[in-house]
Amino acid sequence: MEKILVIGSLNLDYAIRVTDRPQPGETVLGHGLTLSPGGKGGNQAFTIGRFGRQTAMIGAVGDDAAGQMLRANLQRAGVDTDAVETLAGTPSGQAFIHITDQGENSITVIPGANAQVTPEMIGRHLDKMEDCDAVVMQLEIPLPAVIHAARRARALGKTVVLDPAPAVPDLPEELLSQVDILKPNETELHILTGLPTDTDEQVIAAARTLLTKGVGVVTASLGGRGVMMVTRDTAQRFTPPPVHVVDSTAAGDSFTAAMVSVYNGANLPESLQFANRVASLVCTRPGAQDSIPTAEEIRAMQQENA
């Protein structure tokens, strides 16, 4: 896809390094803290911009230093931020990320300005949607805005990609029926369906319950096991290259962005294989947007993938 619109969240990430995540009632000592731009929407838009695609974003930040940083960082990747609104009296979104020495993470998000993204805000920026090939969304903004955007995008004939995180049970069919590509991880797939997702067979069965609600294809990321592509007739798993995981914070977002960036409507298996490689590289580096490959690295990977 050459022109991609991302609608979603922008957060300032506080990444806390710990040996192990604290259990209920437990206090642990951390051994590092970094602040960096993030948010699922921001991460995906930043990565797509790095891929050299014409990228725009619809979202919201607060009238604060964090908002200025988030906007400037997107612009650094070539993202059009004209539709990122600055909201007075509202703080920018924040995320607190515990990252273990094994590279696993758990995240708590304070939505801030992200909670103020509305259908009306989407409507103010329909020109961005009209001028794109694909619309990429997540669930860190209010669901009514996501549903409205998905409907408008589908009506305009755009490819609709949804990263259903944070996942909610019983996602409405009025949204799922508008989605061409749904990209949950295995935990999110379990939450969405209420079904087990421990084995490949269980992942396929759970994914197919979403296909009955109108989703075009499910691409379920399975961590080190890769990604499972499930259609009504076929299922195929793509395995990533082995890496030493340092920080998996932006792996899912970079996967989604890489997949959409090289997808042309007919090459989804190849797009997933390429996205596996990008996400694996991201896992070897600390941070969210700081871990995204550079333009030079992306060009080299694209040449290898050709």
Alpha helices (H) along the chain: 40-50, 65-76, 119-124, 126-130, 143-155, 173-176, 186-193, 200-211, 251-262, 268-283, 295-305
With vertex at residue 285, the alpha carbon angle to CA 282 and CA 290, rounded to the nearest 5 degrees, is 80
Query: What Rg do the C-alpha atoms of the chain give, in angstroms?
Result: 18
Residue 131 a catalytic site member = no
What does the buried/exposed string (b/e) look like for 11-37 if buried means 16 or more CB atoms within 10 Å of the residue's CB? bbbbbbbbeeeeeeeeeeeeeeebebb
* Catalytic residue, candidates 64, 247, 253, 290: 253
Q: Which two tokens stand for residue 88?
A: 């007075």
Q: Is 122 helix (H, G, I), strand (E, B) or coil?
A: helix
Between CA 269 and CA 281 the distance in angstroms is 19
Q: Which two tokens stand for residue 19?
A: 């040996």
With vertex at residue 49, the alpha carbon angle to CA 245 and CA 275, rounded to the nearest 5 degrees, is 40
Residues identified as active-site: 253
